[in-house]
Amino acid sequence: MNLPGKSVMYSKSIFPLFPKILNILQEKSMTVNDLYQEMNIDCNFENFISALDSLYALGRIEIDEEEKKLYYVDGNQM
């Protein structure tokens, strides 16, 4: 997992991926592969998966295991 620090610039960390992932998933739910292709960015798959793991741990995305799709979780709804 690439987190910003002395050896990793912010732009090369997983953090810039968060808003891109969330913006896409706000529009529609999709599979991991479809989301990666939709993002159309130059990042390695490992960083992409680390970003998804982090967003899931933060409660910002969920997984529909039946449909095998990721979806956005609105943090304002409690």
* Residue 60 DSSP symbol: S
Report the CATH number that the domain containing residue 66 is assigned in CATH: 1.10.10
Separation between Cα atoms, residue 64 and residue 30, nearest integer Å: 10
pLDDT band per the 50, 70, 90 thresholds, residue 37:
very high
What is the predicted pLDDT for the residue at 5? 80
Residue 51 and residue 18 in contact, taking contact as beta carbons nearer than 8 Å: yes
Report yes or no on 29 lying in a domain: yes
Report yes or no on 77 lying in a domain: no
Residue 39 and residue 24 in contact, taking contact as beta carbons nearer than 8 Å: yes
Report yes or no on 4 lying in a domain: no
pLDDT band per the 50, 70, 90 thresholds, residue 4:
confident
Cβ atoms < 10 Å from Cβ of 65: 7
Q: Which residues contact 62 (CB under 8 A, 6 or more apart)?
A: 56, 70, 71, 73
Average pLDDT over residues 54-68: 96
Residue 43's domain comprises: 10-72
pLDDT band per the 50, 70, 90 thresholds, residue 41:
confident
Q: How many domains does the chain contain in total?
A: 1
Percentage of the chain beyond pLDDT 90 is: 68
Report yes or no on 58 lying in a domain: yes
